[in-house]
Structure 1
Amino acid sequence: MSGFYFFLAVVSAIGTYSAIIQARRIYWMAPFYFLIAWLSGELALIHLLWQLGLTALMALSGMLDSSLAQVGLGLFALSWMGQVYLHVQAMNTQRVMRQALKRGLGEDYRSTLPQQRQRVLEDSVDAAHWMKPFAMVREGVRVHSHIAYADAGKRNLLDIYQPQEPREGGFPVLLQVHGGGWMIGEKEQQAKPLMFHLAQRGWLCVAINYRLSPNAAFPAHIVDVKKSIAWIRNNIAEYGGDPDFIAITGGSAGGHLSSLAALTPNYAPFQPEFEDADTSIQAAVPFYGVYDFKDRFDIRGEMSMDKMLADKVMQCSQQENPELWDTGSPLSHVSAEAPPMFVIHGTHDSLVWVEEARTFVSAMNQESEQAVVYGELPGAQHAFEVFHSVRTDHTVNAVADFLEWTHARWTEQQA
Structure 2
Amino acid sequence: MGLVISLARSTWALSYAAFSFTSFVLTGFAIFGEKTPSRVANVILSITSNQYSEFPLIMFLLDILFQSWLSITGTFYVSPLARFFSYVNVITAAGIVYLFKRSLESKEVVAEFLGQISKQSKTNTELPGVTSPRFWKQFMNPLHWHQNFTLNDNIPYWTTKEQMHGLRTDGWESVLEMALDVYRPAKVEGGHDRPVLMYIHGGGWTSGSKGLLGPLVTEMIAQNWVVVAVNHRLKSKGGYPTQLIDCKRALRWIKDEVQTFGGDPLNVIVSGDSSGGQLAAMLALTPNDPQYQPGFENVDTSVQGCLVQSAMLDLIDANNYCAASGRERFIKEVALRQGSAESAENLAFMKEHSPLYKVEGSTVPFLVVHGDLDFCPVETARDFVKEFRKKSNATINYLEIPGGHHCFDMFSSPRTWYTTIAVTEWLNYNFNNEAAVGEKKTVRVHELVEWWHEDK
Asked if Structure 1 and Structure 2 have the same fold, meaning a TM-score greater than 0.5 normalized by the shorter chain, the answer is yes
Which residue identity lines up with residue 127 of structure 1 in the other structure? W
Partner residue in 2 for 1:63: 75
Find the aligned partners of 1:213 and 1:136 in 2 and give their Cα distance. Answer: 32
Partner residue in 2 for 1:330: 355
Find the aligned partners of 2:144 and 2:335 in 1 and give their Cα distance. Answer: 34
Find the aligned partners of 2:387 and 2:257 in 1 and give their Cα distance. Answer: 35
Corresponding position: 1:386 with 2:410: yes
Find the aligned partners of 2:61 and 2:306 in 1 and give their Cα distance. Answer: 37
- Give the deviation of 1:359 after TM superposition: 0.8
TM-score (norm 2): 0.82
Which residue identity lines up with residue 145 of structure 1 in the other structure? D
**Does the CA contact (< 8 Å) of 1:7 and 1:72 recur in 2?**
no
Match of 1:319 among 344, 350, 372: 344
**Does the CA contact (< 8 Å) of 1:262 and 1:338 recur in 2?**
no
Which residue identity lines up with residue 104 of structure 2 in the other structure? M
Alignment of 1:4-403 (within 5 A): 4-27=15-38, 29-65=41-77, 66-103=79-116, 105=117, 107-111=118-122, 123-124=127-128, 126-133=135-142, 135=143, 137-150=145-158, 151=163, 152=166, 153-166=175-188, 169-191=192-214, 193-213=215-235, 215-300=237-322, 303-316=324-337, 317=341, 318-350=343-375, 352-403=376-427
- Larger Rg over CA atoms: 2
Q: 1:322 to 1:353 in 2, by over 3 A?
A: closer
Find the aligned partners of 2:281 and 2:126 in 1 and give their Cα distance. Answer: 26
Three-state SS of the structure 1 residue aligned to 2:209 is coil
- Give the deviation of 1:327 after TM superposition: 2.0
- Give the deviation of 1:136 after TM superposition: 5.1
Find the aligned partners of 2:187 and 2:422 in 1 and give their Cα distance. Answer: 23
Deviations 1:130-160 (A, max 9, x none): 4442x35423211111111113531211001
Q: 1:51 to 1:110 in 2, by over 3 A?
A: farther
- Give the deviation of 1:411 after TM superposition: 8.2
Deviations 1:190-249 (A, max 9, x none): 33x211211111100000110123534121111111111111111100001111100111
**Does the CA contact (< 8 Å) of 1:214 and 1:313 recur in 2?**
no
Find the aligned partners of 1:218 and 1:101 in 2 and give their Cα distance. Answer: 37
- Give the deviation of 1:188 after TM superposition: 0.5
**Does the CA contact (< 8 Å) of 1:214 and 1:312 recur in 2?**
no
**Does the CA contact (< 8 Å) of 2:288 and 2:302 recur in 1?**
yes
Find the aligned partners of 1:269 and 1:297 in 2 and give their Cα distance. Answer: 29
Find the aligned partners of 1:366 and 1:259 in 2 and give their Cα distance. Answer: 17
Partner residue in 2 for 1:115: none
Number of equivalences: 402
Which residue identity lines up with residue 288 of structure 1 in the other structure? S
- Give the deviation of 1:323 after TM superposition: 4.3
Partner residue in 1 for 2:4: none
**Does the CA contact (< 8 Å) of 1:281 and 1:339 recur in 2?**
yes
**Does the CA contact (< 8 Å) of 1:154 and 1:209 recur in 2?**
no
**Does the CA contact (< 8 Å) of 2:150 and 2:184 recur in 1?**
yes
Find the aligned partners of 1:224 and 1:411 in 2 and give their Cα distance. Answer: 32
Bigger mean CA offset, 247-256 vs 31-40: 31-40
- Give the deviation of 1:173 after TM superposition: 0.1
Partner residue in 1 for 2:454: none
Find the aligned partners of 2:151 and 2:114 in 1 and give their Cα distance. Answer: 30
Which residue identity lines up with residue 99 of structure 2 in the other structure? L
- Give the deviation of 1:92 after TM superposition: 1.9
Q: 1:122 to 1:100 in 2, by over 3 A?
A: closer
Three-state SS of the structure 2 residue aligned to 1:308 is helix
Find the aligned partners of 1:294 and 1:184 in 2 and give their Cα distance. Answer: 21
Deviations 1:22-51 (A, max 9, x none): 313443643343233222222211101121
Which residue identity lines up with residue 360 of structure 1 in the other structure? F
TM-score (norm 1): 0.89
The runs of 4+ residues in structure 1 deviating greater than 4 Å are 408-412
Match of 2:429 among 402, 405, 411: 405
- Give the deviation of 1:126 after TM superposition: 4.2
Three-state SS of the structure 2 residue aligned to 1:217 is coil
- Give the deviation of 1:395 after TM superposition: 1.4
Q: 1:320 to 1:26 in 2, by over 3 A?
A: closer
Which residue identity lines up with residue 326 of structure 1 in the other structure? K
Three-state SS of the structure 2 residue aligned to 1:13 is helix
Q: What is the identity percentage for the equivalent residue pairs of Structure 1 and Structure 2?
A: 28
**Does the CA contact (< 8 Å) of 2:385 and 2:398 recur in 1?**
yes
Bigger mean CA offset, 123-132 vs 397-406: 123-132
Find the aligned partners of 1:97 and 1:179 in 2 and give their Cα distance. Answer: 24
- Give the deviation of 1:73 after TM superposition: 1.3
Q: 1:367 to 1:320 in 2, by over 3 A?
A: closer
Three-state SS of the structure 2 residue aligned to 1:320 is helix
**Does the CA contact (< 8 Å) of 2:113 and 2:422 recur in 1?**
no
Deviations 1:108-130 (A, max 9, x none): 24426xxxxx8xx7733743344
